[in-house]
Each structure stands twice: as structure tokens, then as C-alpha cells.
């Protein structure tokens, strides 16, 4: 690293000190150019390790994924350029007799599965808010409950899915043992029927997410709300519901926006571990999500091009939804 020589004018420092974005070490226009470039070089040296990794493992792969999606490639032989064929196959329909049939019915089915599992998001977000409101009370032992609520989110997802596979087990699982105890002779056969497999997934993910990251985010949001607002509401004779509806909820809207955005992004990419560990995507594809379909295409059937095309479509979906969500938020999110 270059050292600042004593001869360099220190008068430059005070003017830098107050400015947030300029480097304390940067050199004003009066400095000789060679020195400036040495400074720049050391800046780039700081950046280099991260940037190289970022370039190789993020930037270039993103570009490569788009290129790949126009090819057919099993890794072993040479890739073959297909043009838009993969997207044709994935997204378009063909006529079969008198009706339109999707070229790849699996894709649409698995997309629907993915979206179905995302119906749990509103429940999960409201549940997190509810937990955060409870945990925000000034009560003794609240830290214990916060830790307990958070445990499911921290546990290894594989271990948790195994646990729930056992919970949902049709004959001896805890859920059905209890359901039989309260008199339901034929409780749902959770993971082995098409009707109940997806609700089972949602129940599990609610258990994992309600007390987790989102709850902590809400808790932080709640603690940022100035108490004067509640005092003012009290003076105006507001009851608890009014305070929740007209003070807490609007002031939490940035947090809600962030949580919902992240939940949608991860929701589209969700369901992999659960499907892989609990059902293998079955019964009859009822729990196969897009993520599992991408995995199967790429790493079981070695259709890298097709898998990349699905990934691109998924990316477009995520991007679109994030955009819509962001547009909606312009009207609904209230920043302090």
C-alpha cells in the first residue's frame, strides 16, 4: 500500500472530512496524475478479490444462462443452437383435435403447484406480525418465547422436513394420532394424496416461517415506531384496534413491503427441499415445484439448455412480480 508522505498537504483533509461519499484518502485535482493512479490502483486492489469472484460466479453466469437457454446441451457432447425452440416448447400451445394443449403440460402443472404453495404467504406474513405484536409487549420471559418461536427457522431445513414427514405419517404420525384421538376416524393421508400433499407443505412452511426472520423484522419495525404517536392516539381516545389500524400498520408498511417482496422471490424458488425429501415431487407430480423441475431437467436428465430456459422464465416471473409489487407499494407504502 502506498503511504502518505509527510510532504503531502494536510490542508486537504478538513474539506474531505465532512463529505460522506468522497474518500478520505482521495486526491484533489491539484495532485500529480501519477500519484492519483497509484491511489486508484490500491482502491482496485481492495475491490479485486470480491469483484473477480463476483464476475466469475455471478455476472458471467447470468449472461451464460441466457445464452444456454437457446441451446440443447447434455454437457458431454457439443451444445446445439436451437433458437427459440426451448421457449416454444415451454410456453406455447398446440392444437390437439379441437382443443389447445400446452407443449409441456408438466411446466404449467408445476407452475400452478408453485403458485399454490405461495398462497401460504399472506397467512405467514400476518402470523409473523401477530407474533411480533405479542413479543413486543413488555412482559417477563418474552426473550424465551422469541427464541422458541425462532427455533424452527434456524434448524437445518433437511432435518425439519424429515421431522414433518414423520409428523404427517398417515398411520403413526403425531397429527393423525391426535386427529384419531379427537374422533376423526379417517384423518387425511397427508403426503400420499394429491389433495392433501400441498396443504401439508403449507402447514410445514407456516411452522417454519411464522416466528422466524419476518417476525424479527416486524419486531424491529415496531420498536422504531415513536411512542409519542401512541400517546397522541390515546389522547384522541383511540382504542387498541384503532392504534393498530391507523398507527402501527401504516408505519410498518415499509417492513411489510420488504417481507412480501422477499417472500414472493423465495416463494417462486421454493419447495425444493420439502419435495426432494418428503415426496420426491409426488404423488403424481402434485408437489413438484418449478425449482425441482429445473433440478430434474439439469441434473437428472442433463438437459442443461431446457433447464436454463425454465430458469430464465422463472427469473422473468420473479422480476415481473417484484415490479408489480413495487408499483403497488408506491401507493400503499408509507415512509416516515
State which of positions 274-303 bind other proteins (CB under 8 A): 276-277, 291, 294-295, 298-299
Contacting residue, 15, 42, 103, 194, with other proteins by CB under 8 A: 42
- Dist CA 122 CA 89 (whole Å): 33
Choosing from 84, 92, 148, 232, the residue that interacts with other proteins (CB under 8 A) is: 148
At 207, list the grid cell.
Answer: 411452522
Residue 149 found at the interface with other proteins (CB under 8 A)? yes
Out of 129, 200, 207, 252, the residue judged to bind other proteins by CB under 8 A:
207
Of the chain, the end-to-end C-alpha distance in Å amounts to: 43
Q: How far apart are CA 226 and CA 257, in angstroms?
A: 20
Q: How far is the CB of 109 from other proteins (least distance, A)?
A: 19
- Smallest separation (angstroms) from other proteins to the CB of 205: 13
Q: How far apart are CA 199 and CA 214, in angstroms?
A: 21
Which residue's CB is nearer to other proteins, number 197 or number 259? 259
Site for other proteins in 237-256 (CB under 8 A): 240, 243-244, 248, 254-255
Q: Is 75 in the site for other proteins (CB under 8 A)?
A: yes
* Interaction between residue 47 and other proteins (CB under 8 A): yes
- Which of these ranges, 63-71, 82-90, 116-124, 191-199, lies near other proteins under the rule CB under 8 A? 63-71
Q: For residues 275 and 287, is the Cβ–Cβ distance under 8 A?
A: yes
Q: Which of 269, 296, 325, 329 binds other proteins (CB under 8 A)?
A: 269
Nine-digit cell string for 232? 397522541
Stretch that binds other proteins, among 88-96, 117-125, 184-192, 263-271 (CB under 8 A): 263-271
Q: How far is the CB of 161 from other proteins (least distance, A)?
A: 9
Please give the helix or strand (H or E) that residue 333 lies within, else none.
none
If one asks whether residue 39 binds other proteins (CB under 8 A), the answer comes out as: yes
3 state SS of 214: helix
DSSP 19-45: -SSS-TT---TTS-HHHHHHHHHHHHH
Among 15, 35, 54, 184, binds other proteins (CB under 8 A): 54
**Contacts to other proteins from residues 91-130, by CB under 8 A:** none
Measured between alpha carbons, how far is 120 from 145 in angstroms, rounded to an integer?
Answer: 23
Give the range of 4-12, 80-88, 100-108, 192-200 binding other proteins by CB under 8 A. Answer: 4-12
- For residue 168, state whether it binds other proteins (rule: CB under 8 A): no
Residue pair 110/293 in contact (Cβ under 8 Å)? The answer is: yes
User: Can residue 137 be called a binding residue for other proteins (CB under 8 A)?
Assistant: yes
What are residue 93's DSSP bridge partners? Answer: 102
Give yes or no for residue 147 binding other proteins (CB under 8 A).
yes
Angle between helices 105-118 and 194-209 (to 10 degrees): 40
Amino acid at each position: 500500500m502506498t503511504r502518505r508522505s509527510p510532504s503531502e498537504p494536510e490542508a486537504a483533509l478538513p474539506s474531505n472530512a465532512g463529505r460522506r461519499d468522497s474518500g478520505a484518502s482521495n486526491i484533489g485535482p491539484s495532485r500529480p496524475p501519477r500519484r492519483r493512479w497509484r491511489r486508484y490502483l490500491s482502491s482496485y486492489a481492495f475491490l479485486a478479490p470480491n469483484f473477480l469472484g463476483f464476475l466469475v460466479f455471478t455476472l458471467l453466469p447470468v449472461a451464460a444462462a441466457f445464452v444456454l437457454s437457446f441451446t440443447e446441451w447434455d454437457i458431454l457432447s457439443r451444445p446445439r443452437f436451437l433458437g427459440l425452440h426451448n421457449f416454444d416448447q415451454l410456453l406455447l400451445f398446440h392444437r390437439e383435435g379441437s382443443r389447445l394443449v400446452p407443449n409441456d403440460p408438466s411446466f404449467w402443472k408445476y407452475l400452478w403447484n408453485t403458485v399454490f404453495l405461495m398462497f401460504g404467504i399472506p397467512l405467514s406474513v400476518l402470523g409473523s406480525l401477530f407474533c411480533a405484536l405479542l413479543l413486543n409487549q413488555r412482559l417477563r420471559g418474552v426473550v424465551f418465547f422469541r427464541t422458541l418461536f425462532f427455533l424452527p427457522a434456524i434448524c437445518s431445513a433437511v432435518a425439519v422436513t424429515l421431522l414433518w414427514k414423520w409428523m404427517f405419517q398417515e398411520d403413526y404420525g403425531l397429527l393423525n394420532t391426535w386427529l384419531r384421538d379427537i374422533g376423526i376416524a379417517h384423518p387425511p393421508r397427508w403426503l400420499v394424496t394429491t389433495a392433501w400433499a400441498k396443504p401439508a407443505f403449507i402447514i410445514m412452511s407456516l411452522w417454519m416461517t411464522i416466528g422466524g426472520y419476518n417476525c424479527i423484522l416486524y419486531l424491529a419495525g415496531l420498536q422504531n415506531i415513536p411512542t409519542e404517536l401512541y400517546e397522541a392516539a390515546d389522547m384522541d381516545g383511540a382504542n387498541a384496534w384503532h392504534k393498530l389500524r391507523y398507527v402501527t400498520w401504516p408505519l410498518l408498511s415499509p417492513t411489510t413491503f420488504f417481507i412480501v417482496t422477499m417472500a414472493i422471490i423465495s416463494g417462486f424458488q421454493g419447495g425444493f427441499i420439502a419435495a426432494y425429501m418428503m415426496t420426491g415431487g409426488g404423488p403424481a407430480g402434485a408437489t413438484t415445484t418449478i425449482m425441482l423441475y429445473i433440478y430434474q431437467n439439469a441434473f437428472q436428465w442433463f438437459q442443461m439448455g431446457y433447464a436454463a430456459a425454465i430458469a430464465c422464465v422463472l427469473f422473468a416471473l420473479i422480476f415481473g412480480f417484484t415490479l408489480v409489487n413495487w408499483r403497488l407499494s408506491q401507493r400503499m407504502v408509507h415512509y416516515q
